[in-house]
Amino acid sequence: MHMSDQEFEGVIEEALAAIPTRFTEALHNIAIAWDYEPTAGELGGLRCSDGELLGLYTGVPITQRTTSYSGVMPDIITIFKGPHERVCATHQEMVEQIGKTVIHEIGHYFGFDDDYLHAHGY
C-alpha cells in the first residue's frame, strides 16, 4: 500500500487529534515526527511487528523523570512510513495501523512497556 508523504503526515495528525485531551495535555517536551525508514541503529535489538519497526519512542518516560529533569532536548516519537506501507494491504488498514502506532509510542512516553501495550491491542 502506497501513501503520499503529505497524506501520511495528515493521517498522523488525525491520529494525534483523536487522542483524548486529558492525555495530550499531559504531553510535555515531546516532538512527533515521521521518517521513511528506521536506521540500523534504531533497529538494533528491538522487537518489531511483522519484522518491521513501525514507530519509535526515544526519551525519558514521565514515570522516570525526577525533579532534576530540565533543560533537556525533547523526547521524540518517530513514525516510519516504509514499514507501514509494507505491512498494510489497504488504505483503511494503513490509517488504522498508523493510529495504533501513534498510541503505542505515546504509551511508551507514559511509561508502558511493549508487553502491556501489545496486550491491550497497541
pLDDT tens figures, 50-107: 679 999 999 999 999 888 888 889 999 999 999 999 999 999 999 999 999 999 999 9
Within 8 A by CB and 6+ apart from 89, the residues are 1
Q: Cβ of 103: how many Cβ atoms within 10 Å? A: 19
**Matching CATH number, 5-119, of 3.20.20.70, 2.70.150.10, 3.30.2010.20, 3.40.50.1100:** 3.30.2010.20
Say whether pTM exceeds 0.85.
Answer: yes
Dihedral sign from CA coordinates of 107, 113, 116, 122: positive
The answer to whether residues 102 and 80 touch, using CB atoms and an 8 Å cutoff, is: no
